[in-house]
């Protein structure tokens, strides 16, 4: 999928890489854990550029796996002492979980995170792609788990929209039309600073009477605007 990409020199030169993701939800991938944390290997501006190159949420999942393969970390340790639920990556809904998760396989670890969140790992597009690439298995029967694995009760995950889960093409199109999340600005919290407009890789936001508005036809649902908003004024609906 990626013809070329730049990586942080520290990543290339490191003998061992330990990845330290946080236990969080994400509107684009449902789970942001071991695999998505490797997106941080990319220098800042390139993250936005690759969102634009991907163009669609489905292709972004493929790209995540491509980036992950460039240098697979040797160990993953997830901070799940306090996690995030709801419409991440910038949800205000924090959850006391009290766990530390660790694995030498990112696919298996993300499968466990998904299970704790109450989501079937095999539905997640990026885990399907990672398994197809031979990077690991999301089937819990094939994962050695030390400790008790029980889904967190009433854990709030983003809607399982058509961009995050695997279906046949007809079902996929219907789900995309009906469930695709879009950023919406809360006028009571927004200070019209323009950060969201500056951060959008496809210029899908514009100022309308001092409130940022989203052009739904241009938006690629990367949610960079929500993640970068200093006032936490953007929700996904």
**Among 95-99, 114-118, 206-210, the least confident range:** 206-210
CA–CA separation, 61 vs 147, rounded Å?
Answer: 30
Q: CB count, 10 Å around CB of 6? A: 12
Instruction: Describe the strand order of the beta sheet including 18-19 as a list of residue ranges.
Output: 18-19, 75-84, 94-103
pTM for this one? 0.74
Q: Running DSSP on this structure, what letter comes out for residue 41?
A: G
- pLDDT bracket for residue 2 (50, 70, 90): low
CA–CA separation, 185 vs 214, rounded Å?
Answer: 9
Q: What percent of the chain has pLDDT over 90?
A: 44
Give the highest mean pLDDT range of 3-17, 101-115, 173-187: 101-115
Tens of pLDDT, residue by residue over 132-164, are: 999 999 999 999 999 889 999 999 987 655 455
Task: Provide the residue ranges of all domains of the chain, joining segments of one domain with +.
Answer: 9-142, 182-236
Residue 170 has pLDDT above 50, yes or no: no
Task: Output the furthest CA–CA distance in the chain (Å, rounded).
Answer: 55
Q: How confident is the model at residue 160, as a pLDDT?
A: 57
Q: How confident is the model at residue 23, as a pLDDT?
A: 96
Q: What is the mean pLDDT of the chain?
A: 85
Q: Do 236 and 214 meet the contact criterion of CB atoms below 8 Å apart? A: no
Q: How confident is the model at residue 168, as a pLDDT?
A: 45
Residue 165 has pLDDT above 60, yes or no: no
Q: What are phi and psi of 226, to 5 degrees?
A: -65, -40
Q: Do 109 and 33 meet the contact criterion of CB atoms below 8 Å apart? A: yes
CA–CA separation, 230 vs 226, rounded Å?
Answer: 9
Topology (CATH level 3) of domain 182-236? Alpha-Beta Plaits (3.30.70)
Tens of pLDDT, residue by residue over 191-200, are: 999 999 998 8
CA–CA separation, 36 vs 126, rounded Å?
Answer: 9
């Amino acid at each position: 999928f990626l013809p070329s990409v730049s990586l942080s020199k520290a990543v290339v030169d490191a003998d061992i890489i330990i990845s330290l993701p946080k236990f969080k939800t994400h509107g684009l991938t449902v789970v942001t854990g071991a695999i998505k944390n490797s997106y941080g290997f990319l220098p800042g501006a390139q993250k936005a550029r690759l969102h634009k190159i991907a163009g669609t949420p489905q292709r972004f999942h493929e790209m995540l796996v491509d980036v992950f393969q460039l240098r697979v970390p040797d160990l993953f340790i997830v901070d799940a002492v306090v996690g995030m639920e709801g419409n991440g990556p910038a949800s205000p809904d924090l959850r006391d979980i009290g766990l530390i998760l660790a694995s030498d396989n990112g696919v298996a670890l993300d499968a466990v995170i998904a299970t704790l969140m109450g989501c079937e790992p095999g539905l997640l597009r990026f885990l399907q792609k990672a398994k197809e690439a031979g990077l690991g298995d999301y089937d819990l029967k094939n994962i050695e788990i030390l400790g008790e694995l029980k889904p967190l009760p009433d854990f709030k995950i983003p809607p399982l929209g058509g961009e995050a889960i695997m279906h046949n093409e007809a079902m996929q199109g219907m789900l995309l039309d009906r469930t695709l999340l879009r950023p919406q600005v809360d006028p009571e919290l927004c200070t019209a600073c323009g950060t969201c407009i500056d951060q959008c890789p496809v210029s899908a936001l514009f100022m309308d009477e001092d409130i940022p508005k989203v052009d739904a036809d241009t938006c690629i649902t990367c949610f960079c605007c929500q993640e970068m908003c200093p006032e936490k004024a953007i929700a996904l609906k």
